[in-house]
Amino acid sequence: MDSPYLLFLGDVPDQLSAKTAEGVVRWRPERVLGQNRMEGCGADLGVADISIPHAAAKGAKTMIVGVANSGGVLPGHWSRSIVEAMELGMDVASGLHMRLADQPEIAEAAARTGRKLYDVRHPTRQFPTGKGTRRTGKRLLTVGTDCSVGKMFTTLALEKEMRKRDFKADFRATGQTGILITGEGVSIDAVVADFISGAVEWLSPDNDPDHWDLIEGQGSLFHPSFAGVSLGLLHGAQADVLIMCHEPTRPHMRGIPGRALPSIQTCIDANLQAARLTNSAVQCIGIAVNTSGLDPAAARDYLAATEETHGLPCVDPARDGVARLVDRLS
């Protein structure tokens, strides 16, 4: 996806619905020209409001539909803005479940203008099956006790900190939000099951011996809906290093009332055991905790206790940064 980006929010009702666009602003501010909001929009990214023609005049290359909504449907009354962006020379990217091209007027406009549509939730390329062959370069994978515990955030924070220290390091997106933030990647839970590990091998090919791929994890080996995705991702990543991600206030596995989260240690052990299939030297070097549900004192206590229990650096990437994790890498 070519930048700079115009972030389209439509008329989503609240800030939460604009999480994807917020991620782009937070992690790739240099690529953002501004936001475009329709009347009634309840979200604000804190960047310049800009009309579609104005964005085009300033050189916007891609308009990102940076929202999530229940059902993943593209509201019909957004089509006019999307068509306008294409007519003014922009490609359009979306992470919604419904494909842009499923709206006939959008498909027609894409054909007419020759602009590209990126439905990042839907991989279009074919992948080979995974082989488990060792690749050159180094790899880090974030894994988790559950879905949505901060794996993407942690991985992006690691990229930022490592680049600051002159590591060669690249974030590798495996979900639609990560892809929209960085402009590339594979929505790994949407590939055909036979090709999970193969898609990750494709995403993180041979590289320089001192280069780090920082691979965004998905799901959890302990989530009964998605563990297959997590395992294929773990094998395909053939990670040298794992970071365990956790959210300490979650009452149950996401979407499964009554199902308790595994302990951090159980989850570290299971991930290391499975990861050894494709990298016998794999290590877990730290724990990243999303403590947003705790007050600052409780967060501090939790991190200190977890660090002592596991003998590993334990940080909240949002509160403390990830410097102490990067200290463990070379």
Give the footprint of a copy of itself on this chain (CB under 8 A).
129-132, 188-194, 196-198, 221-222, 224-233, 235-236, 255-256, 259, 270, 273-274, 277-278
The nearer residue to a copy of itself, 51 or 126, going by C-beta atoms, is 126
Q: Provide the minimum distance between the beta carbon of 228 and a copy of itself in the complex, in angstroms, as a whole number.
A: 3
What are the angstrom distances between the C-alpha of 174 and each of 8, 177, 303? Answer: 22, 9, 27
Instruction: Work out how close the CB of 109 gets to a copy of itself at its nearest, in angstroms, rounded to a whole number.
Output: 28
Give the nearest distance from C-beta 121 to a copy of itself in angstroms. Answer: 10
Instruction: Please identify, using beta-carbon distances, which residue of 50 and 191 lies nearer to a copy of itself.
Output: 191
Helices (H), 18-165: 19-27, 52-57, 79-87, 104-113, 151-164
User: What Å distances lie between residue 279 and 143, 234, 267, CA to CA?
Assistant: 15, 10, 18
Q: Which is nearer to a copy of itself, 139 or 235 (CB)?
A: 235
Do 69 and 94 contact (CB within 8 A), yes or no?
no
Taking the least distance from each CB to a copy of itself, the nearer of 55 and 270 is 270
Question: Rounded to the nearest whole angstrom, what is the least distance from the CB of residue 96 to a copy of itself in the complex?
Answer: 15
Nearest Cα neighbor of 277 from 229, 230, 220, 238 is 238
Cα distances from 156 to residues 55, 212, 284, in angstroms, run 27, 13, 18
Q: Which is nearer to a copy of itself, 62 or 278 (CB)?
A: 278
* Least distance from a copy of itself to the Cβ atom of residue 152, Å: 17
Nearer to a copy of itself, 31 or 121 (CB): 121
Nearest CA to 198 out of 120, 281, 140, 125 is that of 125
Exposed e or buried b per residue across 246-280, where buried means at least 16 C-beta atoms within 10 angstroms of its C-beta: bbbebeebbeeeeeebbebeebbebbbebbeebbe
As measured in angstroms, the least distance from the Cβ of 127 to a copy of itself is: 11
Nearer to a copy of itself among residue 83 and residue 270 (C-beta):
270
Task: Please report, for residues 237, 265, 288, the alpha-carbon distance to residue 269 in angstroms, rounded to integers and kept in the order given.
Answer: 17, 6, 16
Amino acid present at 40: G
Q: Which is nearer to a copy of itself, 15 or 129 (CB)?
A: 129
Least gap, CB of 144 to a copy of itself (angstroms)? 15
Largest CA distance in the chain: 61
CB of 196 to a copy of itself, least distance (A): 4
Q: Cα separations (Å) of 222 from 129, 175, 235, 267?
A: 24, 19, 16, 8
